[in-house]
Amino acid sequence: MAPGSQPRYWCETDTPVGRLLLAGDGQALGRVHFQSGPHPMQPSPEWRADATPFAHVCAQLGEYFSGRRRAFRLRLAPAGTAFQLAVWEALRAIPYGQTVSYGELARRLGNAAGARAVGLANGANPLPIIVPCHRVIGADGSLTGFGGGLCIKRALLCLEGAACVADLFSAHELAHVANGAPAGCPID
């Protein structure tokens, strides 16, 4: 990941987990924001609405949600501190369908006592889904914080077939999620 650059373009795209705002400089993606939640992002007046720079992002999101893509191959330019960038790079190394705890991620970064700092960096991730912060869970296996809400985190993990969430759903809910609808989520 390259260090963040100032977004100049933006667009919105609909996904099975709601509308996303994408922002970037025309070469790299700098921001993904859940617009369906309680705090939709307002694009900066300096940004120009143009979907063209995001065609490849939208195509890869479509492949991900249809189960044909397990990792994103995109130029990314998130803005963050050196520590945040290191955490976000470590998130990209978590395989599709697998989860790790905040403590385990801290250990992988060489700081076994840094779970809280990793959690804060995880929460500041400006590229959810693309940089898979949804794959980080509590030490006890619980689903904890996610910018898009826990129902979307749960839906993403179910889409990926993560074992940690299978016991949270009935067979009917799992079928509902497998067909592209987040179980229990207030998203059309």
What is the tens place of the pLDDT at every residue in 150-176? 889 999 999 998 876 655 554 445 455
Identify the three-state secondary structure at position 137.
Answer: strand
> Where in the sequence numbering do the catalytic residues fall?
133
Does position 144 have pLDDT exceeding 70, yes or no?
yes
- Give the helix ranges, DSSP H, for 15-81: 55-65
Among 1-5, 20-24, 130-134, which stretch is predicted with the lowest mean pLDDT? 1-5
Work out the angle at residue 178's Cα, subtended by the Cα atoms of residues 35 and 10, and round it to the nearest 5 degrees.
25
Please give the class, per CATH, of domain 82-179.
mainly alpha
Q: For the whole model, what pTM was predicted?
A: 0.84
pLDDT of residue 39: 83
> Using 50, 70 and 90 to split pLDDT, how confident is the model at 141?
confident
* C-alpha span between 23 and 13 (Å, rounded): 11
Rounded-to-integer distance, Cα 11 and Cα 3, Å:
21
Residue 187, pLDDT score: 32
What pLDDT was estimated at residue 3?
Answer: 60
**Mean predicted confidence (pLDDT) in 13-30:** 96
Evaluated on CA atoms 79, 77, 69, 54, the torsion sign reads positive
Residue 34 has a pLDDT of 94
- Specify the CATH architecture of the domain 9-66: 2-Layer Sandwich (3.30)
Strand order in the sheet with 9-15: 29-34, 18-24, 9-15, 48-49
pLDDT at position 186 is 39
Residue-wise pLDDT for 84-115, tens only, equals 999 999 999 999 999 999 999 999 999 888 89
> Phi and psi dihedrals of 145, rounded to 5?
-5, 135
Least confident window among 14-28, 103-117, 132-146, 173-187: 173-187
Task: Spell out the residues 6+ positions from residue 65 whose beta carbon is closer than 8 angstroms to its own.
Answer: 15, 16, 17, 159, 180
What pLDDT was estimated at residue 162?
A: 84
Tell me the pLDDT of the chain averaged across its residues: 87
Is residue 24 scored above 70 in pLDDT?
Answer: yes
Token look-up 């403590």 returns 103
Where in the chain are the domains? 9-66, 82-179
